[in-house]
């Protein structure tokens, strides 16, 4: 962008992690993503003084990463145009999912928030899981890989949904297959006749299925921060696996 050109929007939301505070000189050093740095550069290129608003959050508040991921998911759902009349605008879509969350968790209308000041981390995680469930159920392509964004304690929920909806846990692609993490031969040999219950599995596309085989189970799980899901009756029924 040439100097003096206006960015597409007059305001935007950027995120950064504080690396250093210099109270004596009034300086704050932030670590930011390359995309956000570029956006900031676009605004700085305008021949006007730039003012930044900084909101600090504690460990219990909604994190910038949660907000960014949740709104990316809402945008993906909006672009997919899967739904009913509530898809009229991106705002009505957002309000619809807010209302769904409030109804399910018994909250008053307008009580749920993703704002850093009002929201909380637990509710944000639950909301993100709801959006991921919807995306997996309706085969909605995601612009951001969940495993790069989810907090550690939330990854197992995504692993389970991918097994139930047959989408790759790494990239979300279909078609994909159930991948046993234990060697089948060590658990009765015949895949068709063996009891699959309680064996650990992941749902993987062909590319990541081959990658898992080449890397080995432990390295593969550690690389993608996966835990492996024990096959239950619901997963076995979806994949037509023997349970006896």
Residue 79 — φ and ψ, nearest 5°?
-65, -30
Residues 132 and 171 in one domain: no
Residues 188 and 121 in one domain: no
Contact 74, 90 (CB under 8 A): yes
- Averaged pLDDT, 93-112: 94
Residues 40 and 79 in one domain: no
Averaged confidence pLDDT in the chain = 84
Number of domains in the chain: 3
Strands 200-204 and 27-32 come out as unpaired
Q: Is residue 44 part of a domain?
A: yes
Residues 65 and 133 in one domain: yes
Residues 93 and 124 in one domain: yes
Residues 183 and 239 in one domain: yes
Last-in-domain residue among 87, 111, 144: 144
Q: Which residues face 21 on adjacent strands?
A: 28
Structural domain harbouring 87: 59-144
Percent of the chain with pLDDT over 70: 81
Using the predicted structure, report yes or no on whether residue 73 has a pLDDT greater than 80. yes
Q: Is residue 23 part of a domain?
A: yes
Task: Give the 3-state secondary structure of residue 179.
Answer: strand
Nearest to 44 by CA among 71, 5, 92: 5
- Averaged pLDDT, 44-71: 75
């Amino acid at each position: 962008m040439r100097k003096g050109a206006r960015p597409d929007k007059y305001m935007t939301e950027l995120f950064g992690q504080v690396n250093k505070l210099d109270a004596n000189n009034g300086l704050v050093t932030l670590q930011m993503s390359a995309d956000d740095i570029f956006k900031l550069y676009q605004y700085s290129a305008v021949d006007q003084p730039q003012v930044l608003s900084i909101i600090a959050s504690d460990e219990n508040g909604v994190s910038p990463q949660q907000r960014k991921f949740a709104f990316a998911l809402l945008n993906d759902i909006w672009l997919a145009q899967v739904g009913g009349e509530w898809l009229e605008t991106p705002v009505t879509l957002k309000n619809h999912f807010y209302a769904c969350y409030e109804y399910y968790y018994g909250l008053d209308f307008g009580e749920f928030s993703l704002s850093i000041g009002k929201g909380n981390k637990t509710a944000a995680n639950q909301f993100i899981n709801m959006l991921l469930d919807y995306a997996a159920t309706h085969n909605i392509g995601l612009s951001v890989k969940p495993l790069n964004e989810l907090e550690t304690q939330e990854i197992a929920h995504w692993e389970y949904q991918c097994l139930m909806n047959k989408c790759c846990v790494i990239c979300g692609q279909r078609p994909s297959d159930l991948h046993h993490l234990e060697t089948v031969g060590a658990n009765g040999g015949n895949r068709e006749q063996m009891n699959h219950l309680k064996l650990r599995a992941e749902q993987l596309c062909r590319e990541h299925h081959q990658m898992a085989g080449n890397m080995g189970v432990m390295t593969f799980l550690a690389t993608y921060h996966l835990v492996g899901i024990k096959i239950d009756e619901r997963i076995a029924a979806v994949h037509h696996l023997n349970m006896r």
